[in-house]
Every structure is written in structure tokens, then in C-alpha cells.
Structure 1
């Protein structure tokens, strides 16, 4: 018999030390495993080593009854399969009850992105007559120029930016660092922001820190703050809908591929460990299809 908390603590330690998993990944694992433990307790099962395939089937049925998406069920199943795989490796269980549980096929949705004309429209709507406006311009330019995740953007520090070389050092998922090129427009916007707006917004000694992007109080900008800023920008432009931060990452990848970049390069720029994660961006826009058709078909 093995205590639930002890089993979870050992697994989390394994994720941190051996797998070098991110804080975000570990928190998701904790939440999913705790949910499974609650289910076991409701079934009168206190020993994680006594779980059988029947219990797994019952748990999955419970998840589907909650109307959870296929993606969510697949994530939870994968998490618990990894948990029991670890217990099996440690000799705490004789078999993995989740090994026979098939992952539901995820709904294939193309990532939402902005067309190049929409991006130009968004940039044209930016006001650069205030520190906030200058910061917003630099923020939008960097996100679109590099395709970095919002969490990565919030972690960028002044020493990570090299404007002379046109690169930014990005601290990615799983503590994997990578250098990403920064285009001319972004370089100019960031340079202006550092020399003017950021200096003004962090003028207080209490606000002395190295993070590149700051809020109106001079504190480091958070992912929630970035989402708010982007939605405010989309409201002020003529574009419709909302602007989720990941849409800029999707737009970055889509525009690169549509303009001839090879998928391996885009994979490296995005920081994807698997090429399959990048292949979702190989869809093409209707405009691109029409352009290729007109250029290639003899009777177009």
C-alpha cells in the first residue's frame, strides 16, 4: 500500500529533477492527479496501487459525463498514464491500469491567425504619443516579429535583447533557451521604448528590475496584462473580434510558411520539440491558394 500524497510527491520530484518540466506542466499534473484521487476516495479506494482497469473505465466515463472536451480528457488520461508509468518504474505497482486506456482523438482545429492585411491594420492603429503607446507598439512588434509565447515574452529581460545583432534570448518551456531573430521594425520599436517609455515608467527606485516590459506602475508585465493590452488594441483598430496572444504566434508561423520558410526553421523559431506541433501551421490561406494557382496553372 502506498499513500496518495507520498506517491504524488515522488512523482512531482521526478518531473522537476529528471524531466525538467516547467512550473505550468507540473501544476497541471498536480491538478489532474488530485482530481483522480478525489474520484478514488468517492469509490472507497485509498490505495493507488489497487486501481484496476475497471476503475479507469469508470473514471473516464465520469469525465465524459461532465461534458469535458476530447482534448481535456486526452490530457488527463496521458497525465495519469505517466503517473502510473512512474510508479511501475519505482516498483510500487505491478502494472499500469491506464496502459489500455485509449486516448480520444482530438478535434483538429486550425489555429486562428490574422491575415497580413489585418496585421498592417493593427499596427497602423497604434498611437505612439505616450509611454503606454510606445510600450504597446514595442510589445506587439516583438510578439509578431518572433512568435514567442506570452509567458516567454513576460520573462524577457533587458540583457536578453541584443539590438546590435537583432536577437532575443528566449527562455522556453522545459527551461530550453533559444535565440530568435528580431526584425528591423521590432528593433526600432524596442529601442525607442527602452530609451524613453520604460525609463519613465520605472523612474522610481522601488521599480528597479531588469524585465523588459512593464505595466503603468512600472512593475513587470504579466500574461494577463498582455491579454488585456491586446484586446484593447483590437478594439481601437477597425478589426473585429478579440485578439488572443497566441494568435500573434499563429500569425507569425503562418506568414513565414506562406512566404516560403521551411518547416524545420519555423519549428526551431517556435521552440517546438516535435515537428508535429509545427505541422498544424502548414495550412494555407485562401489568398495564398489563389496566388499559387494563378502563378502555376497554364490557363489560370
Structure 2
């Protein structure tokens, strides 16, 4: 039996019986991006289930979940995406079982193909230098904001979501650190590069006000708490950051590549893995260890290109 997805019904939301909004509200330690992803994943599953004649969560058994995972795989989704959707289902049905909505958790131990294992792209030193400029503080307020964004992504290894959530109070004059709210609402203090400190000082000492006065369409509607805003006065979003990177990168580059590059360059320079774990805000050391693999790959590339007997 082949079951498809109907976009129009997805847009109208999930029937209340599935309790998806309540489940999302229960994810108090999850990031906003994780909540959005899980909400979308569960709406898609509920639509698929309804087309299969499964109208309430208690109709779903392990056989149907396995069939759904297989359906996702044949649709051509990446293994990483399928694994995330399986994770959403495990957490969702586990929550329903704890709430007493269902008697048995059908997703207990549900497995899916692991992530692709693809190594992240790492920028070379020349690429980074060209993107970040010569270290001087720009006079143009838009360029100042853009350079500050890029410097925080590479110089401090911030996640895009962490960058967008920065408040004005995250940076104190004279401090060499910035206060960041990471995944799971965990706070950490991240060191700033010298260029970032100079850019932040310039932004604080007039650059932000100049940007608001010259660039904002409606200055009165600016988010008063946000450190960095777009032309509408709202906090920067993922698309805003991507557009900034598109203007400055010589080749197409995802914002997260700057964080990958930050971690890899630290390890290439001899930094301890556990120090890098703390800097990145990873809860598990295993998450950080992917960058040791990246470093080994880079070393191998250098060896093969430079050694005459490679």
C-alpha cells in the first residue's frame, strides 16, 4: 500500500487528537529549530497515517512505524533526515505513553538509517581571509554589521541560532567574552577574537544607531533587545545570515561551514579536544570527535598533494 502526502492538509495543521502542539510545548530543553522540525515531522506522519486509515495515535503499532520509515527511505530522503524523523517519532510516542494517551509505546527502540557521515566543508585560510577582510573596522554600518556576523561565526564558532539570539547585553565593554545561549537553553561564555572585539565595540559605540537610522525601514519598530537586526528591525534570521554570507563568500558557503572551520582550525593548531568541546557547547565529546576526522582527512590531502611518494 502506497501512502502519499497532501500539502494542503499539512498546511491546515494536525487534528487535535494527535496532540502535537502539546507535545512540542513539552520539549522545554529543545532548541526552537528542533521544535519546528519535530512539529513538521509529526504533521507529516499524522497526514500519512490518516491516509492509511490510522485516525488516532492508538491505532499506530510498530508495524506501521516500520512501514513509514521504509516509505520515507524510498522517497529519496537523506539518511540524516530519516533518522531525525525517527527520533521525533520515538520522543512523541514515548511522551504519549507517559501521558497515558496510549497503553504501549510502539516506537520503543525504533531505528532508522544513521546519518550520512559526510564530512563538513572546511574553508581554507585564504578563503577565510578574503571573506573577513584586512581587520579594519568598516565605516559603512551595513558592512560593519555583516563583518561582525562573519567574525562571530568563524572567530567564536557560534551556531547561527546562537548568533541570531544574541541580545545587546551579551557583550560587556572591555570583555573578551560573549554570553551565548546554546542548545537546550544552556548558557556559556565564548572567547572573542580581537577583530570581533573591535567590531563589537564599534557596533556598540554608534554603529548600531547609525544602522538603525540609515538602513531600517521603520526604525521605531526595531527589536530593542536584539544585538543584530535586519532591515525590518527584526532579529537576524537564518536566511538573513545566508544572504550576508552570499555577499562576502567567493564560493557558495553555508553559514554552518564557518563553525566547522573554526573547530577544525583549532584542532589543526593543536587545541585539546575537550577544550574544543567546551568552546562549541557540545554536551557529548563524541559530537566533537567528528572534527578530528576532518583534521585527519585534511592531513591526508596535504600529504598526498605534497609528498613525492604519496
The TM-score range, normalised by the shorter chain, is 0.7 to 0.9
* Aligned partner (choices 222, 230, 247) of residue 215 of structure 1: 230
Mapped pair 1:113 → 2:122: yes
| Inter-CA distance 100–149: structure 2 relative to 1 (3 Å threshold) | closer
> Which residue does the alignment assign to 2:26?
14
* Aligned partner (choices 55, 60, 64) of residue 64 of structure 2: 55
C-alpha distance in structure 1 between counterparts of 2:133 and 2:52, whole Å: 59
| Inter-CA distance 219–84: structure 2 relative to 1 (3 Å threshold) | closer
Gaps of 5+ in 2: 1-14, 214-218, 305-309
| Inter-CA distance 100–157: structure 2 relative to 1 (3 Å threshold) | closer
> Which residue does the alignment assign to 1:170?
180
* Aligned partner (choices 30, 33, 38) of residue 42 of structure 2: 33
Q: What is the number of equivalent residue pairs in this alignment?
A: 286
* Aligned partner (choices 278, 283, 286) of residue 273 of structure 1: 283
Mapped pair 1:155 → 2:165: yes
* Aligned partner (choices 15, 23, 35) of residue 32 of structure 2: 23
8 Å CA contact 2:176–2:191 kept in 1: the answer is yes
| Inter-CA distance 198–63: structure 2 relative to 1 (3 Å threshold) | same
The alpha carbon displacement at 1:206 in A equals 4.8
> Which residue does the alignment assign to 1:188?
198
- TM-score, structure 1 length as denominator? 0.85
Trace 1:65-214 onto structure 2 (pairs within 5 A): 65-124=74-133, 128-203=138-213, 204=219, 206-207=221-222, 209-214=224-229
The alpha carbon displacement at 1:229 in A equals 1.0
The alpha carbon displacement at 1:210 in A equals 3.2
C-alpha distance in structure 2 between counterparts of 1:99 and 1:28, whole Å: 20
Deviations 1:179-231 (A, max 9, x none): 10112121112212322422211235554723222335655333211110111
The alpha carbon displacement at 1:114 in A equals 0.7
> SS of 1:169's equivalent?
strand
- TM-score, structure 2 length as denominator? 0.82
| Inter-CA distance 55–277: structure 2 relative to 1 (3 Å threshold) | same
Gaps of 5+ in 1: 294-299
C-alpha distance in structure 1 between counterparts of 2:109 and 2:283, whole Å: 26
8 Å CA contact 2:80–2:115 kept in 1: the answer is yes
8 Å CA contact 1:152–1:172 kept in 2: the answer is yes
C-alpha distance in structure 1 between counterparts of 2:268 and 2:228, whole Å: 30
